[in-house]
Amino acid sequence: MMRIQQRLTRRGVLKLSLAGSGLLSLYGLARFLSRAEPPPAPQQFALGYPAEYPVGAVASIPEARAVLIHDEGGFYALSSACTHLGCKLGTETSPLECPCHGSRFSEQGRVIRGPASRPLTALALSLTSDGRLLVETGTLAPVEQRLHVDV
């Protein structure tokens, strides 16, 4: 039996290294692109009573991934998922600021500072039978729509 002995050259090592790096990069890219998860099923979250949120209140609702806002026109809810990469909004100084990349949104959900380029999603808001606020994640509403409640 004849054995062939090959010598590994620098050029060969470089080619193998580049090929390995390329394969690892493609694997990482494929994993990143396949991470798109289907949107979560709509859920309802009962919040407090309207009287607990005075005009001007901007309250983070972590379990619903939402922000509840009460302005002169009434109540409305915005998704607290940043439209840049989906990070959860909310810092100690502002519930409408993204701690991941610094995007900032107005109380109407408009982008004030990027890198986010799309406004926040407005969520449906209604009242439960006992008069508490109810936010429905996965159910969209026009951002201009307000829930009017006599407080």
Q: Which structure tokens are listed for 40?
A: 């979560």
Q: Which domains does the chain have, with CATH numbers?
A: 43-140 (2.102.10.10)
Q: In sequence order, which residues have a C-beta less than 8 Å from that of residue 100 and are 6 or more positions away?
A: 82, 84, 85, 87
Dist CA 96 CA 14 (whole Å): 49
Phi, psi of 45 (to 5 degrees): -125, 115
81 DSSP assignment:
B
pLDDT of the chain, 151 residues: tens digit per residue:
566 666 778 888 888 888 888 888 888 777 766 655 555 566 888 998 999 999 988 888 888 888 899 999 999 999 988 888 888 887 666 778 888 888 989 888 889 988 888 999 999 999 999 999 999 988 888 888 888 887 6
Confirm if 116 and 100 have CB atoms less than 8 A apart: no
